[in-house]
Amino acid sequence: MNEKTINRRIFNNKLYKIFVSSFSFLSIIPLFLIIYFVLIRGIKYINLKFIFSMPKPMGELGGGIFNAIVGSFIIVGVAALIAIPIGIMVGIFLSEYKEKKFTEIVKIFVDTLQGIPSIVIGIIAYLWIVKPLKQFSALSGSIALSFIMLPLVIKSTEEVLNLVPVDIKEAAYALGAPYHRIVLKILLPSGSVGILTGTLIGISRILGETAPLLFTAFGNQFLNLNLLKPMSTIPYLIYVYATSPYKDWHNQAFAASTILIIIVLSINLLGRFIEKKWKT
């Protein structure tokens, strides 16, 4: 082997490293571009009045997004109340019945559920709730969002329960504890951090979901606390305002996005932070 080929191989190796590193850095630039432009255009319109007042009628300047903020918290809260207990139960099932063939099927179904486009989930909530009740409702939006959150809770519960040492369980058995107490009083508490992570990531995910709300929770110009009536949410408001022809609404869409992006990314980061803590 002469020196020339060796030099070329070393050169190629350098080239490969430069190529891979620069493409990697290029791909996280959009993250900063998106956050930067949303903040720069949105932050100047955010003040207490914007957060705590109601929208003005179409075409009128000013107004706030109070109803959407309240709506988002209610709809996401109800969705979480549905998804968390069911998700934990399914997660326990998957980790406790590992050997069964049926468990494998359930696992594939959970993956499939996670892969369903969110707009299709919206259609389902429309068919199951909106159509029988004959009106758009916050409840139908919550149910749609709970379907999206469910797989995330299931997976993190299953994962963390698989990490709980068998010794703990055996010790509890040896003391004569009944099975349901072992699961509820010993396994679940030792896995609580993992479940918390899944819940936080799930909430940050559904807080930003828009597609499943388009024809379920719909939207509402007024403050509504009734789960059986249409309710506004922050992401829905952003979509409607952004695609409207009014300049003032565009600015409000950026302001609402600033609020949403800060909440969503903070919850997401908190979840990841907790996850890193218990995984290491």
Partner 1 sequence: MRKDKAFKIILLLSGFLIVALLSGIFLSLVFSSIPSIKEFGINFLFSKDWDPVNNKFGALPFLIGTLLTSVISLLISIPFSLSISIFLSEILKNKLISNIFQTFVELIAGIPSVIVGLWGLFILAPFMRTLQLKLGIQPIGVGIFTASIILSIMIIPYSASIGKEVISMVPTEVKEGAISLGATEFETLKSVTLPFSFNGIFAGFLLSFGRAFGETMAVTMVIGNSNKIPDSIFSPGQTMASLIANEFTEATTKLYTSSLIEIGLILFIVSMLINILGRLIIRRFKF
Residue 3 neighbours by CB under 8 Å, 6+ apart = none
DSSP 62: -
Q: Take residue 155 and report the two structure tokens written for it.
A: 């997976």
- Supply the minimum distance, in Å, between the C-beta of residue 111 and partner 1: 5
- Among the residue ranges 21-29, 57-65, 71-79, 220-228, the one whose residues contact partner 1 (CB under 8 A): 21-29
Please report, as residue ranges, which positions from 119 to 138 form the binding site for partner 1 (by CB under 8 A).
119-120, 122-124, 126-128
DSSP 4: H
- Supply the minimum distance, in Å, between the C-beta of residue 221 and partner 1: 16
CA-CA distance, 234 to 208, in Å (whole number)?
A: 8
**Residues 215 and 122 sit within 8 Å (Cβ to Cβ):** yes
Please report, as residue ranges, which positions from 43 to 82 form the binding site for partner 1 (by CB under 8 A).
none
Q: Take residue 110 and report the two structure tokens written for it.
A: 């959970």
Please report, as residue ranges, which positions from 206 to 265 form the binding site for partner 1 (by CB under 8 A).
207-211, 214-215, 218, 235, 238-239, 242-243, 250, 253-254, 257, 260-261, 264-265
Residue 189 binds to partner 1 (criterion: CB under 8 A): no
- Supply the minimum distance, in Å, between the C-beta of residue 96 and partner 1: 7
How far is residue 245 from each of residues 40, 59, 139, measured CA to CA in Å?
21, 9, 30
CB nearer to partner 1: give 159 or 209: 209
**Residues 135 and 229 sit within 8 Å (Cβ to Cβ):** yes
Residue 102 binds to partner 1 (criterion: CB under 8 A): yes
CA-CA distance, 223 to 138, in Å (whole number)?
A: 12
CA-CA distance, 136 to 229, in Å (whole number)?
A: 6
- Among the residue ranges 49-57, 59-67, 189-197, 202-210, the one whose residues contact partner 1 (CB under 8 A): 202-210
Considering CB under 8 A, how many residues would be counted as binding partner 1?
A: 87
Residue 190 binds to partner 1 (criterion: CB under 8 A): no
